[in-house]
Amino acid sequence: MIRLTTAGESHGKGLFAILEGVPAGLKLDIGAIDARLALRQSGYGRGARQKIESDRVEILSGVRDRVTLGSPITLAVWNHDYENWKDVMAPEGCDTAQRRLTKVRPGHADLAGMLKFGQDDARNILERASARETAVRVAAGEICRQFLSELGISAAGYVRSIGTVSDEKSYTYSAIYGHRSLLGMMDPTLEEEAKCLIDEAKNNGDSLGGIIELRVHGLKSGYGSPMTYGEKLDARLACALMSVQAVKGVEVGLGFEAARRFGSAVHDEILPPPEEGDKGVGNDSFHAFIRRTNNAGGIEGGMSNGEELVLRAAMKPIPTLMKGLQTVDTDTMQPALSAPERSDVCAILACEVVCEAALVTELSKVVSERLGGDTMEEVIRRNGALR
């Protein structure tokens, strides 16, 4: 079974991941991993940190001549900014009195983390809670994406809204797949409106979030299970997306819209295969049942039903505001303005990239649990045998 563990701090030596369970024989495109890391750092409204770092992956184990060995894969994304922070962050010894953060930021992990872990410096919390951690998740996610691609499964996403600028149109998977723009929006006119809104937020020392939509194409039916709640596919994918920093809501298919409609306008009616409606479920034509709509987002009863998976994630505005928010200095217990760390105004495109990585990583776990197999040849053969 595929499993992912990450480690590292925002201004530490680097970010690290151990990816276990990837079958032997998967040929990796390492350039694609670096390209995905570069995409994560792009987007209108990003901050100064992206000018310092130029993320690239270093594979430390589990791969030989770009082919997986079946052993744990260790990945590193080194922090170039560590040279400016080692006097404060070095594990071998440093001056922890420097760059203390006690003016805790509303909406961040600062205060709750200090209370939980018994700290008097929020830096001991924020360095790990930072979205910088997602760099190595994106690197590992790209390996998972390449694993799924060998099974005919692909994922894509786009930015549906930024602040009050929302795109309510429907797009095909082929239009979304491979689409690239400065903010990840499909409509160039709306993207220009969103850029103006980001400029306004920047001038006001504020920040913006948005909504992303993700699709998965080519997943066969039967992944996930209704037999125990922990195996439900929608629950697992929602959990994966909610693990991404700043994500505060997840929808599957119609999502909350389903609560506003009659059942007849929600559930996807099932039709027999063309000219084969008299054949039963034991026949090979079973896979050809038709749904004219996909309001369920490709998941029914906690299982994939063969339709595209459709999920949306809501990203809150970044909690580090350059203008600051009212808070308390935990040293003095007096009112203060929250401390401005170096920050983005809007990182919605990065969030889309990270959410894609989280989605394909969890989906790889689900797929590997069902199929098993020590080699890619085994996995591909077993997937091909499924209806």
* Per-residue tokens: 68: 């997986």
Residue 44, token pair as written in the block: 């209108």
Integer Cα distance of 164 and 208 in angstroms: 10
CA separation for the pair 172, 4 (Å, rounded): 31
Q: How confident is residue 387, by pLDDT bands cut at 50, 70 and 90?
A: confident
- At residue 277 the predicted structure's pLDDT band, cuts being 50, 70 and 90, is very low
The backbone region for 84, taken as left when phi is positive above 0, alpha when psi lies in -120 to 50, beta otherwise, is alpha
The answer to whether residues 345 and 247 touch, using CB atoms and an 8 Å cutoff, is no
Give the largest Cα separation in the chain, rounded.
Answer: 77
Tell me: the pLDDT tens digits for 314-353? 999 998 888 889 999 999 999 999 977 667 899 999 999 9
Mean pLDDT of the chain: 93
Query: What is the Cα–Cα distance from 109 to 349, expressed in whole angstroms?
Result: 22
Under the banding of pLDDT at 50, 70 and 90, the label for residue 381 is very high
Radius of gyration of the chain (CA): 22
Query: How much is the pLDDT for 47?
Result: 72
Strand, coil or helix: 158? strand
Nearby residues of 124 by Cβ (< 8 Å), 6 or more positions away: 113, 114, 117
Comparing CA positions, the residue from 242, 244, 263 lying closest to residue 252 is 242
| Overall average pLDDT of the 220-228 stretch | 95
The C-alpha torsion from 75 through 77 and 82 to 88, rounded to 10°, is: -50
Short-list 306, 297, 307, CA closest to 257: 297
* Alpha carbon 46 to chain centroid, angstroms: 18
Alpha helices in the chain (DSSP H): 30-40, 49-52, 86-89, 110-117, 123-129, 134-149, 173-176, 188-203, 233-242, 348-371, 376-384
**pLDDT reported for residue 276:** 53
Rounded to 10 degrees, what is the CA torsion of 346, 349, 351, 354? Answer: -150
pLDDT value of residue 339: 76
Sorted by where each starts, the structural domains of the chain and their CATH numbers stand as 3-253+296-384 (3.60.150.10)
Whether the pLDDT of residue 96 is over 90: the answer is yes
Q: Give the tens place of pLDDT for each residue, 140-163.
A: 999 999 999 999 999 999 999 999
Per-residue pLDDT tens over the stretch 173-206: 999 998 989 999 999 999 999 999 999 999 999 9
Is the predicted pLDDT of residue 281 greater than 60, yes or no? no
User: What integer pLDDT is reported at residue 340 of this predicted model?
Assistant: 76
Q: Which residue has the higher pLDDT, 179 or 281?
A: 179
> What is the value of pTM for the model shown?
0.93
What element of type H or E holds 265?
A: none
Q: What is the pLDDT of residue 348?
A: 95
Contact 234, 312 (CB under 8 A): no
The confidence band for 358, taking pLDDT boundaries of 50, 70 and 90, is very high
Q: Which residue has the tokens 């184990």?
A: 61
First CA to last CA across the chain, in angstroms? 21
pLDDT tens profile 57-75: 999 999 999 999 999 999 9
Residue 275 pLDDT > 80, yes or no? no
In the chain, the amino acid numbered 195 is K
pLDDT score, position 48: 59
Judged against a pLDDT cut of 80, whether residue 248 lies above it is answered with: yes
Q: Are 198 and 208 in contact (CB under 8 A)?
A: yes
Token match 């979030």: residue?
209
Q: What is the pLDDT of residue 206?
A: 93
**DSSP assignments along 32-80, one per residue:** HHHHHHHHHT-STT--THHHH-----EEEESEETTEE-SSPEEEEEE-G
